[in-house]
Amino acid sequence: MSALQSARSRLPQLKARQRNAAYRVATLQGVPPEAFDASLLACSTPLRVNSPLPVGDGQALLKRRPDVRAAERRLAASTARIGVATAALYPDVKFGASIGSTGAVLDALTPFTNRFSVGPMISWNLRQSTTRARIAEAEADAKGRLAAFDGVVLTALRETESALETYAADLERRQGLEAARASAQRVEAQSLEMRKAGRMGGLGLVDAERTAVAAEQAVASADSDISNDQIAVFLSLGGGWN
């Protein structure tokens, strides 16, 4: 009876975790937590990644991560600003008409003194030091963005390696727990037969049943860990594969 009560005492905590997970799903969908999908609470099957993990171009996988894409765009914007600043070094040349008058003052603006010609009026950007300072500033910003990009990529690699390592370890752990569960179930069945034959007392059968239940719970816990591992791998690789 005490074992049953102990198991029941965990139900409120498990229900709270389930409801909190539904709240997180709701906020990811852009709705208030209280507007969560109630059907999620009726789900009794653990989530699974149905398709096998992709094998191939790791760079293409990492590029799908939002943090890597954002860092790449920030770096591209910084390098683009260098190009814009460098363009300011070129002179701004404008062409227009020049009109003048030559001759005696008394004949000013008369057909004797008027002359018309067309020539270039060149406007130069003389603030070269300012432009070069802008270029240096843009280059420094680009170096900072490059360092940030490298940091994001290294973090993505670390998260991917860690997720895959944990996933592989939990899969191996589950295999051991499945073997332990099978052994406990055999002992439980044998104990039941011995109890029926009068060759074992009730306490021995209860102990075998308790061991079998504990083994079943351990496998269920491993299944939960593997589901979380699959989600971690899915997120670390950017997800989205079919």
- pLDDT digit string, tens, across residues 38-47: 888 887 776 6
What total of structural domains would you count in the chain? 2
pLDDT for res 105: 45
Q: Which residues of 23-33 are buried (b: 16+ CB within 10 A; e: fewer)?
A: eeebeeeeeee
pLDDT for res 109: 47
pLDDT for res 118: 47
What is the residue range of 156's domain?
58-89+141-242
- pLDDT digit string, tens, across residues 220-236: 899 989 988 888 888 88
CATH classification at residue 77: 1.20.1600.10
Contacts for 78 with CB less than 8 Å, ≥ 6 apart:
138, 141, 142, 144, 145, 146
Same domain assignment for residues 78 and 40 = no
Weakly modelled stretches of the chain, pLDDT under 50: 95-97, 101-109, 112-114, 116-120, 122-123, 125
pLDDT for res 15: 86
Same domain assignment for residues 199 and 162 = yes
Q: Is residue 193 part of a domain?
A: yes
3-class DSSP state of 37? coil
The percent of the chain in helix, strand and coil, each rounded to the nearest 5, is 70, 10, 20
Contacts for 3 with CB less than 8 Å, ≥ 6 apart:
210, 213
Same domain assignment for residues 21 and 64 = no
Same domain assignment for residues 145 and 167 = yes
Same domain assignment for residues 148 and 35 = no
pLDDT for res 128: 62
Answer whether 204's CB lies under 8 Å from 195's CB: yes
Contacts for 84 with CB less than 8 Å, ≥ 6 apart:
138
Q: Give the bridge partners for 98, in sequence order.
A: 117
Q: Is residue 9 part of a domain?
A: no
Answer whether 163's CB lies under 8 Å from 89's CB: no
The sign one gets for the Cα dihedral 88, 89, 94, 98 is: positive
pLDDT for res 116: 47
* Both structure tokens of 56: 């191939």
- What is the pTM for the complete model shown? 0.65
Same domain assignment for residues 174 and 231 = yes
